Structure 1
């Protein structure tokens, strides 16, 4: 967990300005259909200078956005998603042009194969989800949004990244993936992952 907090601090030094539409296009997830959507936060930690959030509201927000985004797919391969929320920062007000805190959610994700009764991969995927900044990143969301809006934005970002991760591994969830495909399955990308375009 100490490592996650340290990486969260590193992620806060980066800027993510991606925008997310109200009706984002669906990706190619192959045969994917969402099974269980399990989100937990047993060791949740609040990052430096953060507004407060409860374990329950973060879990509910992430579950809601995962259901909304991944529940659209109607394949035949049942995949269960497990998410562990480890740390968060909800930006407070800063000093425009000088100090503009960023909000971020740190979590790990595991995809479970219902047919095999086990995980598709051994190492959980680590994700850092940033909120959308809108038109004034130099001011900071602590001035322009409520804590509830920040939580919703982080949850949308997290669900989008999980969807992209699944799309990157869609061929790995087919009935009989080839050896060539399996070699490239579920490879981890060093965090923080901030590309949400």
Structure 2
């Protein structure tokens, strides 16, 4: 009986994995008007880890997010230079948990800023606070820590976060001289993909964040 139950559980994992949301790497990137990436800045000095969580250093998050910003924005060849600056505010990387009952999820919180290089100004008053979760998959049922490695969790969260940064940018088409109607269509498509690719899980308010250093 136990063997049969294990086979059934394994089959469910495979089925759910096959139904996972598309990887952001496979998405068609939208038009960004005048945008061309100049500086790609990621900092994590004030990053906090929310338990329960696997460990990750400031530099590991910097590397993951820097690589994803380069991948998503590095190919644009507009006529005007812009800087994207991201601050890593907090994270939780789900450790292995008890399937279904205690299946912890992973979360990443960042603050984003966009600068116009020629005008030497930030294009908005306050940083854009963005919270993202892992993609929907077998991990949503059995616990991300059982299904994914720490590095896979970080890569997925970085991709989801930078996708949300682009969505925010498309919601401000005047910054990049993008046709508003086209930007609205692209933003709606990205938002639909983002909503389908993340699991909405709240961080308990009574959990005390931990400072994380290199």
| TM-score computed with the length of structure 2 as normaliser | 0.71
Contact 1:27–1:164 (8 Å) recurs in 2: no
Aligned length: 165
Q: Is the 8 A contact 1:31 1:173 kept in 2?
A: yes
Q: 1:116 — aligned with what?
A: 119
What's the counterpart of residue 42 of structure 1? 45
Corresponding residue to 2:78 among 60, 75, 80: 75
Q: SS state of the match for residue 137, structure 1?
A: helix
Q: Which has the larger helix fraction?
A: 2
Q: What is aligned with 1:64?
A: 67
Q: Helix, strand or coil for the counterpart of 1:138? A: helix
Contact 2:138 2:147 in 1 (8 A): no
**Deviation (angstroms), 1:155:** 0.8
Partner of 2:167: 164
The TM-score with structure 1 as length reference comes to: 0.77
Higher Cα Rg, which structure: 2
Consecutive unaligned residues in structure 2, runs of 5 or more: 1-19, 180-193, 198-214
Provide the residue aligned with 1:195 in structure 2: 195
1:1-197 equivalences under 5 Å are 18-174=21-177, 195=195
Q: 4+ residue runs of structure 1 moved beyond 3 angstroms?
A: none
What is the CA distance between 1:37 and its match in structure 2? 0.3
Q: Distance in 1 between matches of 2:46 and 2:118?
A: 30
SS in 2 for 1:43: coil
Is contact 2:24-2:160 (8 Å) kept?
A: no
Gaps of 5+ in 1: 1-16, 178-193
Shift of 1:115: 1.6
Shift of 1:125: 0.3
What's the offset of the Cα at 1:18?
A: 4.6
Deviation at 1:134, TM superposition (A): 2.5
Equivalent position of 1:189 in the other structure: none
The 3 A distance-change label for structure 1 pair 158 and 164 is same
The CA deviation at 1:136 is: 4.3
